[in-house]
Amino acid sequence: MSTVVTMRPAATVFREEQYFDWRVYALIAAFELVAGYCLVWVTRPWDPVDALLAHRWSIEFALGLLVALALPLLMAACLLHMTTEVTPTEVRVWFGWVPIYRRAVLITSIQRYHVVEYRPIIDYGGWGIRTGRDGERVLNARGNRGVRLELADGSKLLIGSQRSEELAETIERARRPDVA
């Protein structure tokens, strides 16, 4: 008789999902409208409706339309949603419903951490996956608060959070499992 042993993933003790500000989505929608209109306008500037009908089977037009309309939607699906999880062994952050960027940090590699308030546009050039002037990696979706982790390898990671105090407390509990 053989026994099958499986490893179950560590239970999540903190989870936060953040969406980017509505203006980001509005900007993408505006980009899609302008791109679609420009695509039609460039093909025949005097009558966009005729241009659309005349070129509907053109491979260039179809490819342009696909890129102009699908690329922003793909970007929204892959980037514009940030999830932060803390388990007893690691802190995980990823972007998108279809994650193309993931970052995991072992709890044991966190030397120090603290809740911070920052200026996303001035300090890091906005929201998303950023790098500060000093090389600090920043992962944020909205707001101006987060938890800065100082790691054993000397690097820093700032995780934006709408619940930064709770995130810091959860990291503390994970670092000290003997203190409940």
Q: Please give the pLDDT value at position 51.
A: 57
Q: pLDDT tens, 165-174?
A: 999 999 999 9
Q: What is the pTM of this model?
A: 0.75
Q: Which of 72, 88, 75, 83 lies closest to 12 in space, CA to CA?
A: 88
pLDDT of residue 142: 92
Residues 85-105: what's their mean pLDDT? 92
Q: pLDDT for 97-145, tens place per residue?
A: 878 899 999 999 999 999 999 999 999 998 899 998 889 999 999 999 9
119 C-beta neighbours (distance < 10 Å), count:
8
Q: Per-residue pLDDT tens for 58-70?
A: 676 677 777 777 7
